[in-house]
Structure 1
Amino acid sequence: MRTLRWGLSLSAGEHMGSLRRLLICASAVLLLACAGPAVRPSSDPAQPPSSRPRTTMTMVVRYEVTDLAAKIPGSSSPVITKRLFNAALALIDDSGAARPYLAEALPQLNTDTWRVLPDGRMETTYTLRPGLTWHDGQPLTADDFVFALQVYANRAFSVFNPRPQDRIEGATAPDAQTLVIRWSAPYAGVSALIDSDFDPLPRHILETDVARAAADPSTAESVMNLPFWTNAYVGAGPYKLDRWAPGAQIEGSAFAGHALGQPKIEHVVVRIISDENTVLSTVLAGEADFTADFTLRFEHALVLKREWESAGRGVVYLKPSSAVTQMVQFRPEYVGHPGLLDVRVRRALAHAIDRQALNEGLFEDQGFVSGGLVPPTAPFFADVDRAIAKYPYDPRRSEQVMAEAGYAKDQDGIFANAAGERFWTDIRVTEGPEFERGQAILVDTWRRAGFDVRPSVLAAAQARDSEARQTFPGMASRGGGTEESSFTTGEIGSRENRWRGGNRGGWSDPAYDRLYDAFLNTLDGTERTGQVIQMMKLISEQLPVYTPYFAIQVNTHVSGLRGPDPGTAGFGESAPGTLPYWNIHEWELTE
Structure 2
Amino acid sequence: MAFEKKIFKLSSRRIKNLPSLRQLKYLKRLLSQKEKKIIFFLFWLSLISLLGILLSLYFKNSEVQPAYGGIYKEGLVGQPKFINPLLANNDIDLTISNLIFSSLFKYDENNELQPDLANTLPSEINENNKTICLKPNLLWHDGEKLTTADLVFTLELIKKMGPKSLFFEKLKNTQFSIIDKNCFSFQNAELSDLCFGILPQHIWQTLEPIKINQSLYNLKPIGTGPFQFVSLESNKEDGIKNYKLKQNKNYYNQIPYIEQIIFKFYQNFTQAIQALEKKEINGLGHIPQNFKEKVIGFKKIKYYPLNLPYYTAAFFNLNNSLLKDKNVRHALALLTPKEEILNTILGQDGLIMDGPLLPTSKLINPNIKKYEYNPQLAQEILKNAGWENNKKGFLEKNGDILELSLTTIKETDFSKIATLLQQSWQKANIKIKLISIPAEQIQEVIKTRNFQIFLYGILQKVDFNPYFFWHSSQKIFPGLNLTGFNNRRVDELLEKAYYLKDTDMKKKYYDEFQEIIAANIPAIFLYNATYGYFINEKIKGISISQIDHPKDRFRNIENWYIKTKRQFKKK
Q: How does 1:73-472 map to 2 (within 5 A)?
A: 73-76=88-91, 78-108=93-123, 111=124, 113-115=125-127, 124-155=130-161, 158-159=164-165, 161-168=167-174, 170-183=175-188, 190-193=190-193, 195=195, 198-207=196-205, 209-210=206-207, 213=208, 220-231=209-220, 233-246=221-234, 247-292=240-285, 294=286, 296-308=287-299, 313-321=300-308, 322-331=310-319, 335=320, 338-376=321-359, 378-380=360-362, 384=364, 386-410=366-390, 414-417=394-397, 419=398, 421-465=400-444, 469-472=447-450
Q: Distance in 1 between matches of 2:135 and 2:274?
A: 43
Distance 1:52 1:142, change over 3 A: closer
TM-score (norm 2): 0.79
Q: Distance in 2 between matches of 1:250 and 1:59?
A: 10
The offset of 1:364, in angstroms, is 2.7
The offset of 1:71, in angstroms, is 1.8
Distance 1:480 1:158, change over 3 A: closer
What residue is the counterpart of 2:561 in the other structure?
Answer: 588
The offset of 1:68, in angstroms, is 0.9
Q: Distance in 1 between matches of 2:251 and 2:384?
A: 61
The offset of 1:393, in angstroms, is 0.4
Residues 423-432 or 152-161, more deviating: 152-161
The offset of 1:125, in angstroms, is 2.9
Distance 1:94 1:434, change over 3 A: same
Distance 1:225 1:422, change over 3 A: closer
Richer in helix (by share): 2
**Contact 2:88–2:97 (8 Å) recurs in 1:** no
Distance 1:469 1:226, change over 3 A: closer
The offset of 1:227, in angstroms, is 1.8
Distance 1:559 1:158, change over 3 A: closer
The offset of 1:182, in angstroms, is 1.7
Q: How does 1:425-574 map to 2 (within 5 A)?
A: 425-465=404-444, 469-481=447-459, 484=466, 485-493=468-476, 499-570=477-548
Residue 154 of structure 1: SS of its match in structure 2? helix
Distance 1:530 1:565, change over 3 A: farther
How high is the sequence identity, in percent, across the aligned residues? 16
Number of residue equivalences = 491
Q: Distance in 1 between matches of 2:373 and 2:366?
A: 18
Q: Deviations over 1:332-355 (max 9, x none)?
A: xxx2xx131122321221111001
Q: Which amino acid aligns with 1:517?
A: E
Residue 96 of structure 1: SS of its match in structure 2? coil
Q: Deviations over 1:276-320 (max 9, x none)?
A: 12222222222322223x3x2223321232342xxxx13112345
The offset of 1:379, in angstroms, is 4.0
Q: Deviations over 1:482-506 (max 9, x none)?
A: 661112222222xxxxx42212232
**Contact 1:297–1:553 (8 Å) recurs in 2:** no
Q: Distance in 1 between matches of 2:191 and 2:504?
A: 16
**Contact 1:60–1:288 (8 Å) recurs in 2:** yes
Q: Distance in 1 between matches of 2:506 and 2:252?
A: 32
Q: Distance in 2 between matches of 1:366 and 1:577?
A: 17
**Contact 2:84–2:93 (8 Å) recurs in 1:** no
RMSD: 2.9
The offset of 1:586, in angstroms, is 1.5
Q: Deviations over 1:122-146 (max 9, x none)?
A: x733222222221112111222111
**Contact 1:316–1:555 (8 Å) recurs in 2:** yes
Q: Which amino acid aligns with 1:407?
A: W
Q: Which runs of 5+ in 1 are unaligned?
A: 1-48, 117-122, 214-219, 494-498, 571-575
Q: Which amino acid aligns with 2:222?
A: V
The offset of 1:558, in angstroms, is 1.7
Q: Which amino acid aligns with 1:416?
A: E
Q: Which amino acid aligns with 2:386?
A: G
Distance 1:561 1:533, change over 3 A: farther
The offset of 1:553, in angstroms, is 2.4
Q: Distance in 1 between matches of 2:281 and 2:517?
A: 41
The offset of 1:552, in angstroms, is 3.9
The offset of 1:584, in angstroms, is 0.7
Q: Distance in 2 between matches of 1:384 and 1:282?
A: 41
Q: Distance in 2 between matches of 1:426 and 1:93?
A: 41
TM-score (norm 1): 0.76
Q: Distance in 2 between matches of 1:304 and 1:360?
A: 20
Q: Distance in 1 between matches of 2:100 and 2:120?
A: 22
**Contact 1:320–1:375 (8 Å) recurs in 2:** no
**Contact 2:365–2:514 (8 Å) recurs in 1:** no
Q: Which amino acid aligns with 2:523?
A: V
Distance 1:223 1:83, change over 3 A: closer
- Of structures 1 and 2, the larger Rg is shown by 2
